[in-house]
Chain A
């Protein structure tokens, strides 16, 4: 695998406006510390003391709301920092990390997708489970089709969307279906959990098997139906610092925030379970 030359991170372009102002007023961009004279040989404790600059966090689509909140809290607590997120299917994030995408932290929705990264030895620290998530059925508001169980979804007249098997929510749904010996033919295997949920939000599908947290995040646009089989497929969410990180002090501080009592409060409020 030939590594591409490290260019400026494209994600940063999106956050140009605010970031540029911040960088100008702070008179230092993280790129300066990349070529660092100071940070490279510093010990961990010194690095922890120096929390500044930009970090990029690759996180599973289901973490979108809670991590955005945590990112804002982090920037408020440490002026001069900027947390840029890239949310998507855990599998495609893992693939881009092993493909050399410049990221500091990876939070995935399953140990299996994290394993892709650790197998390629692209992680700097051992992954730690920070939350767990359970599946739920998202139906149209008011549940017009009277969906009450996983078995109800096998009804041929219902348009059901699942996540693709390559994505953790799809793998978990498959596990739950296999455990309950049900055969479900969806109309589509979506590329990540948010696009599966949004097909129900847009009323294009009647139901989707997604996470509790997604149902909660969608507010009154969908209605959640719990089903007992979901206990057979609870997902652990691991988080890890990446080898590619050029700002390990700040990245470690962000991981610490996610795992702290304060971070857990935000995550459980979003519907995640404690590890």
Chain B
């Protein structure tokens, strides 16, 4: 049981287990709850433990210092960061629009924004091809007018990743905005600040933790993106072969290096989670 003022849900809270519990349950847990709970715990942790057990620790240094791995890892980090930057630039204003401006059909727009979140990534990749491919609805004109083709390029990877990761950011920032007290902005307005100044000087600092949490989530999602990337951007080492693609293809002929690559991604994920907890566990 937690007591919270209504409407103060913070996106970061749902991530990190919420603010401090006021009261914990007294006494032991009943067996009918404890047994499935332990099964659930084992189900979620065992595969990762297995990955650690089966890891080829002795040959790890050789596997991880190969140039292909570094190439894939660097590409992954660069693309995920670029995708997050793109999401921030166009996602935060979109979140603000959804949270602060009452326009007709807002519910529909919010649903559309959330759609890529629940869409199978491969479907997202196909949709991107249909839209931005060389023969796509928009891509055709990009190619004819500017000679820009997006599939099979690093830009294509960033686009695919931003497409699946941006909804995380938008939803999380929008939740923070709704929870933030609009009276601060109103006060700024009465003091003569324009709406944009109020947003820049008052709202942004107010929701910074929410934006940061959303950005980290989006970044992690972009880093793990596979389906849309291989469909839209293809697979070329150094240009479009990100870590998940490298893991998938390595699994076919060299399972050991696939495990090593998986461990690297696992370590990155753990670091992200640890960073989130440290920063937003105490903020409520």
Q: Which residues of A contact B (CB under 8 A)?
A: 89, 91-92, 94-95, 159, 161, 164, 166-167, 186-191, 199, 202-205
Contact = CB atoms under 8 A, between A and B. Distances in A.
21 contacts: A89-B252, A91-B252, A92-B252, A94-B252, A159-B149, A159-B152, A164-B235, A166-B249, A166-B253, A187-B236, A188-B235, A188-B236, A188-B240, A189-B235, A189-B237, A202-B135, A203-B133, A203-B135, A204-B134, A204-B152, A205-B152
Contacts of B230: 191
B252 A166 contact: yes
Nearest to B130: A202
A188 B252 contact: no
Contacts of A186: 236
Interface in B28-75: none
How many chain B residues sit at the interface, stated as a range, is: 20 to 34
B135 A204 contact: yes
Interface of B: 129, 133-135, 149, 151-152, 230, 233-237, 240, 248-249, 251-253, 255
A239 to B, nearest CB: 20
Contact of A204 (B129, B237, B249, B251): B129
Chain A at the B interface: SS class? loop
A95 B252 contact: yes
Contacts of B134: 159, 203-204
Given A204-B129, A204-B151, A190 B253 contact: no
B152 A188 contact: yes
B236 A189 contact: yes
A188 B234 contact: yes
A205 B134 CA distance: 8
Contacts of A91: 252-253
A137 to B, nearest CB: 18
A164 B230 CA distance: 12
B133 A202 contact: yes
